[in-house]
Amino acid sequence: MTILTLHVEQLSSVLGPMLLLTDDQQNLRMVDWVDCQERMDRLLRRQYGLGRTRTVPSSRRTAARDAMEAYFSGDLTAIDRLPVANGGTNFQRQVWAALRTIPAGQTCSYGQLAAAIDRPKAVRALGLANAANPIAIVVPCHRVIGANGALTGYRSGLARKRWLLDHEVGLEPAPLI
């Protein structure tokens, strides 16, 4: 059995401390907030299998960290060039790839995204794939909103989703409570 080694870095952000997990080839595998680590561990097990990954502290600063810091400092396109790799089903990976095509500062509805991947009736399945996205911000699930324009579920909280969307359109994001 092959064990995937994931290198962990912690990053301070205005939204709270984050964890970045990269593989030996510097592919970003997972991004989440420290306060969501239980969910991150569940996603690792679901995507790669129980006992199929091990995490070690990163021995060097990664491009993922540099790009995330640049994003939070206002270079919204810095994350667009990051190589990512993830487990998940074929459908999930298709949804996650489609998410990366939504430009910073723009949003789309679940229905629009389902239509874009030629699965117009798979809105609910798309929502579940969106919720299982392991690479927050870089695979921008926060850019998907309800058909009526309302903010809908974001696994890290609607306050973080609102902050990210405001940041991307150049508004002064509201402080998190």
Residue 155: strand, helix, or coil: coil
Chain centroid, CA 58 distance in Å: 20
Residue whose tokens read 């990210």? 164
Backbone angles phi, psi at 75, to 5 degrees: -85, 85
52: DSSP letter: S
Q: How far is CA 55 from CA 8, 30, 58, in A?
A: 6, 11, 9
Which candidate, 125, 155, 129, places its Cα nearest to that of 142? 155
Please pick, among 141, 144, 145, 164, the residue that the annotation labels catalytic.
Answer: 141
* 141 part of the active site: yes
Report, as residue numbers or ranges, the catalytic residues. Answer: 141
